Amino acid sequence: MGRLENKVALVTGAASGIGAACVERFAREGARVAGFDVSEEPANWATLVADAPESLYRAGDVRDEQGVQATVRAVEERFGRLDVLVNAAGVGGGGPVHMLPSEEWDRVVDINLKGTYLMCKYAVEGMLERRAGNIVNIASIEGLEGTEGGSAYNASKGGVVVLTKNLAIDYARRGIRVNCVCPGFVDTPLLRSIFDQNDLGPVRERIADAHQLGRLGRSEEIASAVLFLASDDASFVVGHALVVDGGLTAGHRYGISEMLGLA
């Protein structure tokens, strides 16, 4: 029996990266899965949900309040309820603030933070009626500490971390658990596009090496952490920001391990 057997899950950002990995893992664990993404249904959607008893895909923008509400309602009408919401939709962006157009700030914060708020706003309504539900937000280690040039992205993900805690405080006693995952740098199409567009190959290598494992994360590794929080295995985990970062925030390396033959 899968860890999400008979559960209904809605995943935003479902067309690629961490969102797609969550869809695939949830389907393997027995969930009926709905995907929501700004992209039209991806060519590999049928493959992602091959193990799901039922599935649904809707294209839309998490900044569109009417579209968000309609999507949540469509899931509830199709499957009878919504048990798990995963907010994985997100974009990168930022820069030193004196170089950052206000439109870019708004775009990043609106998608990453406001989009999370809107999805939670409408998902919570049905969860409150049933006195049961589970929300997992995808934040970032960049929401826990500063990153060079991060500004808008860091601010948006920091907002997701604290919003998660507030949601947990507000709804835990009504049977709704809310947590977030804070990944390190994960090898997704979004991250690759940022490095490629800005000719940041050497920076990518330095970032990968800064993780104690010496590499970037994989989307399926983050999906495993999301699965844990979404399952009953995490029944006593509420308001937590789970760091899954390959040791990036554990501390610093100065070459001593190499001197001792440990690297």
In CATH, what number is assigned to the domain containing residue 25? Answer: 3.40.50.720
How many angstroms from the chain centroid is the CA of residue 9? 14
Q: Do residues 88 and 14 make contact, with C-beta atoms less than 8 angstroms apart?
A: yes
Lowest mean pLDDT among 128-132, 199-203, 231-235, 237-241: 199-203
pTM of the model as a whole: 0.95
Count of domains for the chain: 1
- pLDDT for 221: 98
Q: What integer is the mean pLDDT of 231-248?
A: 98
Q: What integer is the mean pLDDT of 226-240?
A: 98
Average pLDDT of every residue of the chain = 95
- pLDDT for 203: 84
Helical H segments across 131-188, by residue range = 151-171
Task: Note whether residue 73 is domain-resident.
Answer: yes
Task: Note whether residue 195 is domain-resident.
Answer: no
Task: Note whether residue 257 is domain-resident.
Answer: no
> Which residues touch 181 (CB under 8 Å, ≥6 apart)?
136, 137, 138, 139, 222, 225, 226, 229, 241, 242, 244
Annotated catalytic, 122?
A: no
Structural domain harbouring 20: 8-189+218-249
Q: Which one-letter amino acid corresponds to residue 257?
A: S
- pLDDT for 260: 82
- What is the DSSP-derived secondary structure letter of residue 186? B
Task: Note whether residue 196 is domain-resident.
Answer: no
C-alpha 41/C-alpha 227 separation (Å) is 23
Q: pLDDT-derived band of residue 256, with 50, 70 and 90 as boundaries?
A: confident
Q: What integer is the mean pLDDT of 221-247?
A: 98
**Does position 99 have pLDDT exceeding 90, yes or no?**
yes
Q: pLDDT-derived band of residue 201, with 50, 70 and 90 as boundaries?
A: confident
C-alpha 107/C-alpha 229 separation (Å) is 28
> Which residues touch 251 (CB under 8 Å, ≥6 apart)?
none
**Does position 84 have pLDDT exceeding 80, yes or no?**
yes
Q: What integer is the mean pLDDT of 113-135?
A: 98
- pLDDT for 200: 74
State residue 46 phi and psi, 5-degree precision. Answer: -60, -35
Best CA proximity match to 170, nearest among 119, 227, 238, 111? 238
C-alpha 68/C-alpha 89 separation (Å) is 12
C-alpha 82/C-alpha 74 separation (Å) is 10
Catalytic residue among 117, 153, 171, 254: 153
- pLDDT for 263: 67
pLDDT in tens, 130-141: 999 999 999 999
Task: Note whether residue 209 is domain-resident.
Answer: no
Task: Note whether residue 82 is domain-resident.
Answer: yes
Task: Note whether residue 42 is domain-resident.
Answer: yes
